[in-house]
Amino acid sequence: MEPPDPKFPDSPMVRPMMQAEEFSFRGDGISGERLQKIRKGLLTLHTLETMAANLYQFQITRDRTELNRQLIIANCNQMSHIQDFQIKLLEYGWKPSRLRWAFWMLGLVLGFGSRLLGPRLLLRTASWVEQKAVEHYGELLEAIEWEEDLRRIIERDRADEEGHLRRWHSLLESG
C-alpha cells in the first residue's frame, strides 16, 4: 500500500465521516463568470470520475488476486470522488450533467475491453486514465478560482489519482 501523502494524512481513508456542519449552500457573493467556471469544472470532474469508477468496475473479475483487490480499492476511491463533486454541485444548486451516461458507457467499454485483452493492457489502460486525470486536475486547479475548501478537496482527490498512477506503474514494472 502506498504511504499517505503528508499533505493529506487522511488520504488512505476512503470516506471520512462527514458532519452536518460541513454542508452549506454555496455561491453567494461570487460573480456570475466565476460561478460558471466553477460549475464547468465541477461538471467535468464529476463526469470524468464517473467514467473512471466504471472503468475499474468493469476491469474487476471474480478472481481473488492482488490486482483485483487493487482495482476494488481504486473503484471505491473513485466513487468517493464522485460523491465529493456531486455534493458540491448540489450545494451550489446545480445538477450533474445529463450526458454523464455517455462517460458511464465509455468507462464500461474501456474497462471491459481492457479486461478482455489481459492484465498488462488492463494496467496500461488504468495508468493512461489516471495520467489524464492528474493532468485534468492540474489544469482545472490552475484555471479556476475555487473556493478554498473546495480547492482542498480537489487537491486531495488529485493526490489520490497520483497514488493510483504510482500503483499501476509499480504493478506494470513488476510484471
Q: Average pLDDT by consecutive 10-residue portion of the chain (175 residues)?
A: 52 67 92 97 97 97 95 94 96 96 96 96 96 96 96 96 94 89
Residue 108 cell numbers, joined: 464500461
Distance CA 79, CA 66 (A): 20
Pick 31-174's CATH classification: 3.90.1720.10, 1.20.1270.360, 1.20.950.20, 1.20.1260.10: 1.20.1260.10
| Cβ atoms < 10 Å from Cβ of 65 | 11
Angle between helices 100-116 and 32-59 (to 10 degrees): 30
* Residue 151 near residue 141 (C-beta atoms within 8 A): yes
pLDDT at 15: 61
pLDDT at 124: 97
CA 22 to chain centre: 20
Distance CA 74, CA 156 (A): 15
pLDDT at 17: 74
* Residue 99 near residue 49 (C-beta atoms within 8 A): no
Angle between helices 119-143 and 100-116 (to 10 degrees): 150
pLDDT at 22: 85
Instruction: State pTM to two decimals.
Output: 0.87
Distance CA 107, CA 100 (A): 11
Characterise 15 by phi-psi region: left (phi > 0), alpha (psi -120 to 50), beta (else): beta
* Residue 150 near residue 88 (C-beta atoms within 8 A): yes
In the chain, where are the structural domains located? Answer: 31-174
- Who contacts 147 (Cβ-Cβ below 8 Å, separation ≥6)? 26, 30, 38
pLDDT at 8: 54
Distance CA 133, CA 136 (A): 5
pLDDT at 1: 44
